[in-house]
Amino acid sequence: MTLLEQIQAIRMEPYDYPLEDTRIARFPVEPRDSSKLLLYRSGTITETRFGELPGQLEANSLLVYNNTKVIHARLFFHKETGAQIELFCLEPLMPVDYAQSFQSETHCEWMCLIGNLKKWKQGPLLRKIIVKGEPLMLKAEKIDTINNAHRIRFSWNLITGNTTNHTICFGDLLESAGQIPIPPYLNRASEVSDETSYQTVYSRIDGSVAAPTAGLHFTPSVLQQIDKKHIQRQEVTLHVGAGTFKPVQSDRLMQHSMHAEFISVEKKLVQALIAHQGRITAVGTTSVRTLESLYWFGHQLIQQPDLTPDEWILDQWYAYQEGSLHKLPDPKETLQALLNYLEKTESTCFTASTRLLIAPGYTFRVVNAMLTNFHQPKSTLLLLVSAFLGGDAWKKVYDYALSHNFRFLSYGDSSLLIP
């Protein structure tokens, strides 16, 4: 059986565990860095508080974190009948670039999930909103349906009789009229406190519909202590999609379709990874997937040095295909190939979409330590943790967390995993 066949044959039942509703953290602890931190080192488990993290990191470590920012992705409209329709903005389609879409001044198109779809049979949805003190009419029109999601065209204009010196872009509309999309498993409405608590302190690039939750524990004080210890810090961007909440619903992994997520890394990160000699610690599964994806994009360039696609997309099974596994190069080689590509194309950053699925049997190429929260049963995130620790070590970690009153999921506690 090939590695690909082994991965696709993975059953999800062994990756289940009893997660009672009372173990799911509804709100974060205050202050953020007072959360619990489980420490796993070569099979040994201890615990401390997250504020002690700097002392747990080696001085020659490189810490990589995701700077994505959660957008106000939930827009609500009301029909004349009184029915409420929710549009959950997932990703931009026209313009396809996130920054350009947020800067659109008259119209744009997004892939959306629609809540209460049966009440929206035909015609546009209209909503009067106030942005920068100006009254606007926001219109939403259904264009197409793709795999249970919908292509929605948003357009907006000043209400007749008003003039403004302001430029109103789509990013302004979301900020003013949208709501932050907290995870559905919290089973509560979003609150004002979520506006800050569901963002990392270093978030700055708009685009996610879910927070990279391992980063929620950081405070300016913790970051200052990390800097004082001369631990390098570098950023990546991965815009987290709604698929992060989706458990694997099939019994076999081969039937699961991994969601694509936008990544962007600056040239200086690639250079730092090549130059670094110590441990590389990824903050969260999003940073892990980004860094490991870079290896495979560089691998493609080594295989095809003249490769210049219109859009870089990494398939979920690429890392397990026999052609990919032939004489695998060293990570420094693949990253150098990526750097050479950036220099040849005179690019300051590398942007792509990744569907990389990391499951038991995967060999990590870039990351060798990880900070992460505690994930849902039968999820791809739990598979990633299992792959990272090897064997049944994940069960040991989760049994400890359950028996020592750790809080689970997005607003829960975290772990530092060093196999």
Q: Domain residue spans in the chain? A: 3-70+193-418, 74-179
pLDDT of residue 245: 63
Asked whether the predicted pLDDT for residue 160 surpasses 70, the reply is no
pLDDT surpassing 60 at residue 164 = no
**pLDDT value at residue 368:** 95
Token pair in block for residue 317: 């099974």
Does the pTM surpass 0.85? The reply is yes
Separation of alpha carbons 391 and 220, rounded Å: 36
Helix, strand or coil, per DSSP, at residue 316:
coil
Give 81's pLDDT tier (boundaries 50, 70, 90): confident
Residue 163 pLDDT more than 60? no
Instruction: Give CA–CA dist 300/6, Å, rounded.
Output: 23
Buried b (16+ CB within 10 A) or exposed e, 267-289: eebbebbeebeebbbbbbbbbbb
Task: Name the helix (H) or strand (E) containing 403.
Answer: helix 393-403
Domain 3-70+193-418 -> CATH class:
alpha beta
43/58 Cα distance (integer angstroms):
18
The secondary structure of residue 182, as a DSSP letter, is: -
Digit-coded pLDDT (tens) for 219-243: 999 999 999 999 999 999 999 987 7
